[in-house]
Amino acid sequence: MQDKMQEIENRILEIKKLLEKVDLIRPGTLTKQYKNPKEKTGSYYQLSYTHEMKSKTDYIILEKNLYQT
């Protein structure tokens, strides 16, 4: 049980370190999209939000292995 708790605490510390590196945060909805939805290939992330009464969409590029769980 202690090992599991330590593992969880270590993971929390890793996530906190990743969050410290975040430069810009925008409120909105992050969704996973596919270039070919039927076969679920060509995935990318899309951030949709509203700023100054205008709808905006940004495409998000994730660094490999940065957000693994």
Q: What is the pLDDT of residues 34-55, one digit of tens each?
A: 999 999 988 889 989 988 899 9
Residue carrying structure tokens 């049980």: 1
Q: Is residue 9 part of a domain?
A: yes
Q: Is residue 38 part of a domain?
A: yes
Is position 17 within any domain? yes
User: 11 vs 7, 17, 29, 59, 68, CA distance in Å?
Assistant: 6, 10, 25, 27, 11
- The answer to whether position 68 is within a domain reads no
pLDDT digits (tens, 9 = 90+) for 2-32: 899 999 999 999 999 988 888 777 778 989 9
Task: With respect to residue 49, please indicate whether it lies within any of the assigned structural domains.
Answer: yes
> Does 39 fall in a domain?
yes
Residue 66 maps to a domain? no
Q: What is the total count of domains within the chain?
A: 1
pTM of the complete model: 0.48
The whole domain housing 49 covers 2-60
